């Protein structure tokens, strides 16, 4: 465990960032300096930065994410968030082409947008992602807002896309929480589907018991999948603190070699880091 890659983090340094609530709850300053300092302290050598949601439901502009990564001394690489319109898809592809040496993936906010993973509006994005071997991350599982659409963020909605797009690398964010068994089936069934463990620990009255439950569910998913080759470390900073997600990995009842895959080997392979 001498090196770690965090494949799912957020940052904006803006007051209208709705994740400020989680930052305050976790007693985080939620600044670039704090994030980089925390990464160094935990021996996290690289990280992927994604747009956080702003008030009004829109994501932070991708240009801002790219600029933040540019100030990170090479520690952060951008993931481009793509909204379900032809204009946004075109703009996202253009940004990826302009920063092709830096951009490592795309992100689709299933459950927060009025579109499914198989919506035709994303076809051009998937074509480009396949041609450039860029993964596409999908929000799956529970949403942070009560009006989120679980019928679109359920992990099984990605089964059809994985069947049609065998060359597209699909990342199921948040391990589809609480549908861990469904994600276990997807990463077992599809060679092109992986899942990250970001944003799973958010505290609560039964925090310790919940952490035990999470570790058991993820461990069982790894048993079902036959190994941890498809499981990727991510925190969802500032939603979950780095220390808590690292503690979750330590709780997993899997071989040390599988923990090493989770902590950095899988992300290095999948994202080309």
What residue has token string 């253009």? Answer: 94
Could you give the residue ranges of the DSSP H alpha helices within 172-241? 180-189, 207-225
Strand partners, 5: 46
Nearest to 247, CA basis, from 215, 220, 218: 215
Which residue segment(s) compose the domain that 84 sits in? 4-271
pTM here is 0.95
Given this model, what pLDDT does residue 204 score? Answer: 79
Nearest to 101, CA basis, from 56, 147, 132: 132
- Map residue 81 onto helix, strand or coil: strand
Torsion 123-126-130-132 (CA) sign: positive
How far from each other are the two terminal CA atoms of the chain, in whole angstroms? 17
Cβ pair 185, 224 in contact under 8 A: yes
The secondary structure of residue 265, as a DSSP letter, is I
Count of C-beta atoms within a 10 Å radius of residue 99: 18
CATH number at residue 177: 3.20.20.140
Structure tokens at 59: 């994501």
**How many structural domains is the chain composed of?**
1
Given this model, what pLDDT does residue 2 score? Answer: 64
Given this model, what pLDDT does residue 203 score? Answer: 76
User: CA angle 246-222-216, nearest 5°?
Assistant: 60
Strand partners, 170: 136, 193
Spatial distance between the Cα atoms of 187 and 183, rounded to a whole number of angstroms: 6
Between the CA of residue 181 and those of 141, 178, 267, 272, what are the distances in Å? 12, 9, 22, 28
Given this model, what pLDDT does residue 145 score? Answer: 85
Alpha-carbon 55 to chain mean position: 21
Count of C-beta atoms within a 10 Å radius of residue 190: 18
Structure tokens at 118: 């198989």
Give pLDDT < 50 ranges for the chain: 1
φ/ψ of residue 213, rounded to 5: -65, -45
């Amino acid at each position: 465990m001498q090196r770690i890659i965090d494949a799912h983090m957020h940052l904006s340094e803006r007051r209208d960032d709705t994740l400020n609530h989680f930052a305050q709850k976790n007693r985080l300053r939620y600044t670039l300096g704090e994030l980089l300092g925390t990464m160094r302290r935990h021996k996290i050598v690289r990280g992927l930065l994604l747009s956080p949601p702003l008030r009004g439901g829109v994501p932070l502009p991708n240009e801002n994410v790219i600029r933040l990564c540019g100030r990170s001394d090479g520690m952060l690489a951008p993931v481009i968030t793509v909204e379900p319109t032809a204009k946004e898809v075109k703009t996202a592809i253009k940004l990826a082409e302009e920063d092709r040496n830096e951009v490592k993936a795309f992100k689709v906010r299933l459950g927060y947008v009025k579109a499914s993973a198989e919506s035709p509006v994303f076809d051009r994005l998937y074509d480009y992602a396949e041609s450039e071997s860029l993964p596409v991350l999908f929000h799956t599982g529970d949403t942070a807002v009560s009006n989120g659409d679980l019928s679109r963020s359920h992990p099984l909605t990605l089964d059809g896309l994985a069947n049609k797009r065998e060359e597209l690398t699909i990342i199921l964010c948040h391990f589809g929480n609480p549908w861990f068994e469904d994600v276990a089936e997807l990463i077992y069934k599809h060679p092109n589907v992986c899942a990250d463990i970001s944003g799973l620990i958010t505290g609560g009255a039964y925090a310790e018991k919940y952490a035990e439950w999470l570790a058991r569910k993820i461990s069982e998913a790894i048993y079902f999948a036959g190994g941890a080759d498809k499981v990727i470390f991510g925190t969802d900073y500032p939603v979950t603190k780095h220390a808590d997600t690292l503690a979750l990995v330590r709780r997993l009842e899997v071989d040390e070699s599988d923990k090493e895959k989770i902590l950095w080997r899988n992300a290095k392979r999948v994202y080309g880091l």
